[in-house]
Amino acid sequence: MRISRFSTPHRVDVHEAGLLFANQWGSIILPAHLYNAALKEDHCQTPWPDMEVLMDIFGEEQFFVGGTPDNTSAYVNRFMLQVGASPSTLINRHRRSKKIGADDFSKAGTRFLTSRATFHGSFRDRYVNNANQMDWTPQYISEILSLEKHGKKRVQSETVRASPHKLLAALAITLNSEVYELSFPYLFMHRTNWTLLTAFKKIWDPILRESFGPDYIQQEWQLPFAIGQVLALTDGVDGLKDDEGLTFAGLSLDAANTTHVGSLAMDFGGGSDSDGYTDADDNASD
């Protein structure tokens, strides 16, 4: 993936706006649940490059509360936890006797993707937002060294000592690794995923309408929540199981990934754009 053409301050602004937009619509984190279920159930044989990159950037723990699910019951439970469903809703989820309302969601709320680019953020606070100083406490530096030591795996707080040379090397590695998060085109992936979900809904509609009634989706913003209904049917609702929706989604994702639709976001970030900018232009401006 190429580095964005934007300067660092603007890159951070675009990153924040894109991530906020995708989080509010659920257009990245919720399709990840559909992809994982299709993959685990062998309905999808081809990896989704864009989604795999994001899982690597943010960590699978941000996509799946409590760990990556690997069975039909866990698929729907983790989905509901991700959108903030309450424990009582989880207990009664096999029933379809009532509509889900505000009381069915926990105080914890929806789990969103949270930026890990804190190092870039400290520079932005100091040089763009004119903060008095950079908040580089010993604990903060120790966390960076620990992250460099253990990779993206989160570990308990530990004190890590390092020479000035090793410290600078670790800071450089951290800064470079955050570039991929900052330069990922979240808005572009939102559009791609929304197009996929809109196409999926045309096939899912008779299945979901029969199981959940004609009002299973009332507004366009609810489109990603149809994924939860597909996962629920796969595990069973009112004693009936139907994996037709998940099977179709898996086959469609396979087709999308083999025709590079699943890597459009990376392609968008890795080659020439329609406005004439290229990697050479970025290098020349650095």
Q: At how many degrees (to 10) do helices 138-150 and 164-183 cross?
A: 70
Residue type, 37: A
pLDDT in tens, 92-107: 555 554 555 545 565 6
Asked whether residue 170 is domain-assigned, the answer is no
Whether 104 and 86 have beta carbons less than 8 Å apart is answered as: yes
Whether 125 and 134 have beta carbons less than 8 Å apart is answered as: yes
Q: What contacts 87, CB < 8 A, 6 or more positions away?
A: 106
Does residue 85 sit in helix, strand or coil?
A: strand
pLDDT in tens, 6-45: 455 567 788 889 999 999 999 999 999 999 999 999 999 9
Whether 265 and 22 have beta carbons less than 8 Å apart is answered as: no
Whether 5 and 284 have beta carbons less than 8 Å apart is answered as: no
pLDDT in tens, 221-277: 999 999 999 999 999 888 788 999 999 999 999 999 988 888 888 787 654 333 333
Asked whether residue 228 is domain-assigned, the answer is yes
CA Rg, the chain, in Å?
A: 21
Tell me the average pLDDT across 117-136: 66
Whether 235 and 73 have beta carbons less than 8 Å apart is answered as: yes
Domain hosting residue 86, numbered range: 12-113+197-259
- Tell me which of 107-116, 167-176, 218-227, 248-257 is least confident: 167-176
Asked whether residue 5 is domain-assigned, the answer is no
Q: Of 110, 112, 82, 83, nearest to 22 (Cα)?
A: 112
Whether 203 and 226 have beta carbons less than 8 Å apart is answered as: no
Asked whether residue 119 is domain-assigned, the answer is no
Q: What is the pLDDT of residue 275?
A: 35
Whether 8 and 120 have beta carbons less than 8 Å apart is answered as: yes
Asked whether residue 178 is domain-assigned, the answer is no
Asked whether residue 202 is domain-assigned, the answer is yes
Q: What is the pLDDT of residue 176?
A: 77
Give the span between the Cα atoms of 23 and 15, in whole angstroms: 12
Give the span between the Cα atoms of 37 and 80, in whole angstroms: 14
Whether 257 and 48 have beta carbons less than 8 Å apart is answered as: yes
Q: Of 86, 37, 21, 36, nearest to 221 (Cα)?
A: 21
Give the span between the Cα atoms of 134 and 216, in whole angstroms: 49
Domain count, the chain: 1
Asked whether residue 44 is domain-assigned, the answer is yes
Q: ∠ CA 119-125-130 to the nearest 5 degrees?
A: 150
Alpha helices (runs of H) in the chain, residue ranges in sequence order: 8-25, 29-40, 49-58, 60-63, 72-82, 87-91, 118-127, 138-150, 164-183, 186-212, 226-235, 244-258, 264-270, 279-285
Asked whether residue 273 is domain-assigned, the answer is no
- Total length of the chain: 286
pTM higher than 0.85: no
Q: Which helix (H) or strand (E) holds 46?
A: none
